[in-house]
Structure 1
Amino acid sequence: MTDLILHHYPESPFSEKVRLILGHKKLPWQSVRIPRVMPKPDVQALTGGYRRTPVLQVGADIYCDTALICDVLEHVQPEPPLYPLHIKGVARIFAQWADSTLFWAAMTYNSQPKAAGQLFPSAEVGQAFMADRKAMRTNMTQLRLGDATSAYRSYLRRIAHMTDEHDFLFGAEPCLADFAAYHPLWFTRTRTPVLADILQPTPSLLEWMERMSAFGHSRFEELSAQDAVTVAERAEPLPPGQNLLVDSAFQNDHGIPLGTRVTVTAEAFGPESTEGVLMAATRTHYSLLREDPRAGPIHVHFPRIGFVLRKADAT
């Protein structure tokens, strides 16, 4: 198997989700540090527009969004499982809630002015970051700080009810739900410790966080962004059905045949589209073929849930 290359930056909560899963599965990987804000020319040479963090690269195949990245890592290393059979459905549903509702309540709380000095080395850096993220939220309604704080407190208590009963959220072993719930809380605890008192009323939750952090990040080596682009340029994208996504049957919910030039865009956060030729549209994902002057032919993969497929001439 070609090396797993994770494009990320240390402060990214969704990257921490994937880094811990790599640690849990003891998978070696290569680390490409990417900018926190635009421009991201090396990332977009691979994705064609998508700019959210992280991105997983395997040769000339690019996997976007952590929901899809988790499927890839499960295929690469099925044990220990992210989706145990007896809780496969509830683990996915809980993770979707944690990656959206919980995440945005937590990050609105984490981003309050009180924490600015811990988040950014200077006011200028902070202003640039907030302007960048505002541009990414063009299709979103953002919670007010007071409402987000109230919601976050309630969610922490509810998750703590689960950690009162088990070592992990659904039993003695972790599943996808644990990693999805952990990363926004990790941000509160490690990136904005001035705000971490919100975690103190739930000691079982803090104990669970210690168990999660103990998985670590496995073994990794640093790789430059240019070298990652070169890896893609020297590789060939794998045909649908032969890549690291397990399903390949065409599911035509849009009336758009394979071979059509299309765009894929996130429903909410991150308005940048990726354009290419539709190579696969299965029950779980879309795959686009695109050509890049630096990286050559690339297959870019997105999950169906959370993304919008359109004909390119309809955008």
Structure 2
Amino acid sequence: MTSSTRPQLILFDYDFSPFAQKIHLLLACCALPFSRCEQPPLLPRPTLERLGITYRRIPVLAMGKDVYCDTTAIIEGVLGRLASGFPRTRAEKAYESFGRLLFNSSLGLVGKAPDEAIMKDRATIFPQLCRPDIHTLRPSALAELRANFTIVEKDFLSAGAWVGGVTMSLDDVHVGFVVRWILKRMQIEKVPGFGKDEFPKIYHWVEQLPKSTPTEISQEDAVKNILSSSYAVGLPKWDDNDHLGIEEGAVVTVESSDATPGAHPQAGKLVGVSMKEVVLELDNSVRLHFPRQGYIVRKA
């Protein structure tokens, strides 16, 4: 695929987002150029609202006029359309789950209650941050992290420089983003017991992970480019046997199953239903892609 036929990629993110870093790593591994449109870490996010997007989580990736919500959908969209040759393995879903486990356990590393604005903003999606005993969790979180890092060091990296062997694959993305984020962004590399002497393979691996080099795009240009773009992918074949039982073209809402019910619904016309994704079309004709796992779809 040439640069002239490749749809423009615009990633909406903010610096400290670990899952945004996952997509940065994916795009770097696949050597795909992209633009970055920085978003506020706290709501509201006016640029996404201008596009009709009320989905709450970051990152969001626009591929032309198709917008992918959730890292699972983003990964499938990128690899399916732009980087089908990037290595994948039969164990990738297990590594994906391990990466999420690492992130969830890292919330206990915070060590103190966030300020009121952050707590209010994150309460609907990360309730652990609002625990009254959060200031007591760090020792247990460090102990759990050390045990999990030992799994990465002695099991995942036992066969070579990359997870599972000698070739970089999606498995490295699923685990590498959060290990790098914990070490660097959360500065766990400075904590006794988490240095290069204890985890030499992890440090060598993290140093080999490629770094992204996005171009910055303004809020105005991001909106303009998306609305004037063509669709990057076709709609999936409609699954007539899907258990949603909702007819094509119905107005629906989609929301995360692990968030507070009704907190951040995304409304749109249901135009695609398959085993892998649900696709909504907004009034401005932008299409939103959601994975099947972790989301609730209802008639509006």
Q: Equivalent residue for 1:283?
A: 275
1:110-138 per-residue CA deviation (whole Å, 9 max, x = no partner) reads x223xx9xxxxxx9xx4422332123335
- Residues 110-121 of structure 1 mapped to structure 2, 5 A cutoff: 111-113=110-112
Provide the residue aligned with 2:3 in structure 1.
none
Q: Does residue 225 of structure 2 align to residue 231 of structure 1?
A: yes
Within 2, Cα distance between the matches of 1:138 and 1:227? 35
Residue in 2 that maps onto 1:106: 106
Q: Call closer, same or farther: CA 1:179–1:194 in 2, change over 3 Å.
A: closer
Stretches of structure 2 lacking an aligned partner (at least 5 in a row) = 1-5
Counterparts of 1:252-267 in structure 2 under 5 Å? 252-267=242-257
Counterpart selection for 1:157 from 146, 150, 157:
150
SS of 1:36's equivalent? coil
Q: 1: CA distance between counterparts of 2:256 and 2:124? A: 13
1:208 aligned residue (199, 205, 208):
205
Residues 51-70 of structure 1 aligned to structure 2 (within 5 Å): 51-70=56-75
RMSD value, Cα: 2.6
- 8 Å contact kept, 1:286–1:304: yes
Distance 1:269 1:152, change over 3 A: farther
Superposed counterparts of 1:238-249, under 5 Å: 242=234, 247-249=236-238
Which residue identity is paired with 2:123? K
Q: Deviations over 1:153-198 (max 9, x none)?
A: 2211111112133211111112222112122222222222266425
Question: Is 1:173 equivalent to 2:167 in the alignment?
Answer: yes
Query: Are 2:132 and 1:132 aligned?
Result: no
1:194/1:305 Cα in 2 relative to 1: closer, same or farther (>3 Å)?
closer
Instruction: Tell me which residue corresponds to 1:119.
Output: none
Q: So what's the TM-score if we normalise by structure 2? A: 0.85
Question: Which deviations, in whole Å up to 9, do the C-alpha atoms of 1:20-55 show, x marking residues without a partner?
Answer: 111111111111011111111212333531121110
Q: What SS does structure 1 have at the residue aligned with 2:40?
A: coil
Aligned pair in 2 of structure 1 residues 130, 196: CA closer, same or farther (>3 Å)?
farther
Q: 2-side partners of 1:136 and 1:47: how far apart?
A: 21
Relative to structure 1, the CA distance from residue 82 to residue 307 in structure 2 (aligned partners, 3 Å threshold; closer, same or farther) is: farther
Quote the Cα distance in structure 2 between the aligned partners of 1:94 and 1:39. 33
Which residue does 2:212 correspond to in 1?
Answer: 217
> Which of residues 289, 292, 297 is equivalent to 1:304?
292
Specify the code of the residue in structure 1 equivalent to 2:46: P
Distance 1:159 1:194 in 2: 16
1:183 & 1:297 partners in 2: Cα distance?
33
Looking at structure 1, the residues matched to 15 and 215 of structure 2 have their Cα atoms a distance apart, in angstroms, of: 14
Q: Would you say the 8 A contact 2:8–2:34 is kept in 1?
A: yes
Q: Distance in 1 between matches of 2:208 and 2:84?
A: 18
Distance in 2, matches of 1:261 and 1:56, equals 23
Give the stretch that moved more between structures: 14-23 or 126-135: 126-135
3-state SS of 1:278 partner: strand
Q: Does the CA-based 8 Å contact 1:284-1:303 persist in structure 2?
A: yes
How far is the alpha carbon of 1:107 from its aligned partner?
A: 3.0
- Looking at structure 2, the residues matched to 140 and 249 of structure 1 have their Cα atoms a distance apart, in angstroms, of 39
Q: How many residues align?
A: 284
Q: 1:276 Cα shift?
A: 1.0
**2:27 and 2:152 mapped to 1: Cα distance?**
23
Q: Which among 14, 25, 29 is matched to residue 20 of structure 1?
A: 25
What percent identity do the matched residue pairs reach? 24
Aligned partners of 1:30, 1:64: CA distance in 2, in Å?
A: 17
Q: Which runs of 4+ in 1 moved over 4 A?
A: 138-144
Q: Distance in 1 between matches of 2:166 and 2:95?
A: 17
In structure 2, relative to structure 1, the CA distance for the partners of 1:17 and 1:46 (3 Å cut) is same
The 3-state SS of whatever aligns with 1:286 is: strand
Summarize the Cα distance change of 1:35–1:3 in structure 2 as closer, same or farther, 3 Å threshold. same
Q: Once the 2 structures are TM-superposed, how far is the Cα of residue 282 of structure 1 from its aligned partner? A: 0.6
Distance change in 2, residues 1:189/1:140 (3 Å): closer
After the TM superposition, which of the residue ranges 41-50 and 144-153 deviates more from structure 2?
144-153
